[in-house]
């Protein structure tokens, strides 16, 4: 073997080694064990409206069945926030959700700094799914506190911002979330995000032609009135108006605001609340003999 061929082989070997290192940096490849004293999986759980609050234990509600009994190598933290929806409760919905998102982001960032090899899962229910989904979208689109490869999975139950393109588990719910789909979606964590929405749960399954509910959902989302989000509010409002004009325009909206339509909407809402479709995920079947809660528990347990 002459000198030149030996040098070529050395160069090829060096390139191969560099590519292996680079792929681990970019794509999170490899099987690095968690640092001593660190969990293999860190789960940040965000409860729903009225399930938590500054004067309540931060571990109640729908997600208890998801996080209870996870493998011992898993650590779980619940996010405490005001969890309100109306001004007379102290915080409007937008400010309450922002607090949840900010607090969840802080937990994720702190764990990521302390434990470099720990994977992170986000899970949320109702308003908590709204917040957890927004944080996941930040991370997935490269704007988050950690890189997308740190996220093992995102589980959303009754997400008010569910998109028809999100990966659903169980029966496919119609329409989308009342708050409208997230601009830009989940980016690089889309393949690791799962959403569950009962077909009769109006919070996450609003008909696309129900423009009164869609405008109301938009106003709830925009009630935070954060100037940094004005670009997003403009896009979301434009999406609603564009859909409205393509489906009948102002006359259609006027019809949906008529006295008879308002009466029907009130009756429909009463039937929805009486059905408890929003609160029965513990018994809502998603196939394979599993409920929404047991499926989400098993899915997250498999990440540890």
Q: Each residue's pLDDT tens digit in the chain (304 positions)?
A: 443 444 433 433 333 333 333 333 333 333 345 577 899 999 999 999 888 887 776 656 999 999 999 999 999 999 999 988 766 566 788 999 999 999 999 999 999 999 999 999 999 999 999 999 999 999 999 999 999 999 999 999 999 999 999 999 999 999 999 999 999 999 999 999 999 999 999 999 998 888 888 888 888 888 876 777 777 788 888 888 898 899 898 988 888 888 988 888 888 888 888 888 999 999 999 999 999 999 999 999 999 9
Q: Which 8-state DSSP code applies to residue 34?
A: P
Best CA proximity match to 188, nearest among 148, 237, 155, 234: 148
Q: CA angle at residue 176 from 94 to 164, to 5 degrees? A: 125
- At residue 2, the pLDDT reads 43
Does residue 18 fall inside a structural domain? Answer: no
Does residue 24 fall inside a structural domain? Answer: no
- At residue 59, the pLDDT reads 59
- At residue 1, the pLDDT reads 44
- At residue 98, the pLDDT reads 93
Give the global pTM: 0.82
Q: 47 phi and psi, to 5 degrees?
A: -65, 170
* Domain membership of residue 86 as a residue range: 34-301
Q: What is the Cα–Cα distance from 106 to 91, expressed in whole angstroms?
A: 20
- At residue 211, the pLDDT reads 84
Question: How many separate domains does the chain show?
Answer: 1
- At residue 17, the pLDDT reads 37
- At residue 275, the pLDDT reads 87
Does residue 19 fall inside a structural domain? Answer: no
- At residue 9, the pLDDT reads 38
Q: What is the Cα–Cα distance from 118 to 112, expressed in whole angstroms?
A: 7
- At residue 115, the pLDDT reads 97
Does residue 272 fall inside a structural domain? Answer: yes
Does residue 262 fall inside a structural domain? Answer: yes
**CATH number for position 157:** 3.40.50.1820
Does residue 287 fall inside a structural domain? Answer: yes
Does residue 160 fall inside a structural domain? Answer: yes
């Amino acid at each position: 073997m002459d000198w030149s061929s030996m040098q070529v082989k050395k160069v090829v070997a060096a390139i191969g080694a560099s590519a292996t290192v680079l792929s681990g940096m970019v794509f999170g490849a490899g099987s690095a064990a968690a640092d001593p004293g660190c969990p293999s999986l860190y789960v940040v759980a965000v409860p729903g409206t009225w399930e938590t609050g500054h004067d309540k234990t931060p571990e109640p509600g729908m997600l208890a069945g998801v996080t209870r009994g996870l493998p011992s190598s898993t650590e779980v933290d619940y996010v405490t926030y005001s969890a309100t929806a109306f001004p007379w409760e102290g915080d409007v919905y937008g400010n309450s959700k922002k607090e949840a998102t900010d607090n969840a982001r802080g937990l994720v960032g702190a764990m990521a700094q302390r434990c470099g090899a720990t994977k992170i899962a986000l899970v949320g229910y109702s308003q908590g799914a709204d917040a957890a989904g927004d944080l996941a979208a930040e991370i997935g689109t490269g704007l988050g506190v950690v890189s997308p490869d740190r996220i093992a999975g995102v589980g959303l139950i009754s997400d008010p911002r569910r998109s028809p393109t999100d990966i659903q588990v169980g029966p496919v719910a119609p329409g989308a979330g009342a708050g409208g789909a997230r601009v830009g979606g989940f980016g690089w964590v889309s393949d690791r995000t799962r959403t569950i929405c009962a077909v009769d749960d109006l919070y996450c399954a609003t008909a696309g032609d129900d423009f009164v509910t869609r405008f109301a959902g938009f106003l709830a989302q925009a009630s935070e009135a954060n100037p940094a989000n004005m670009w997003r509010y403009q896009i979301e409002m434009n999406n609603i108006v564009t859909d409205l004009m393509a489906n009948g325009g102002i006359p259609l909206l006027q019809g949906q605001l008529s006295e008879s339509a308002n009466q029907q909407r009130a009756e429909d809402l009463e039937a929805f609340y009486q059905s408890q479709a929003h609160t029965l995920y513990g018994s809502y079947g998603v196939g394979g003999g599993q409920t929404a809660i047991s499926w989400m528990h098993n899915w997250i347990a498999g990440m540890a």
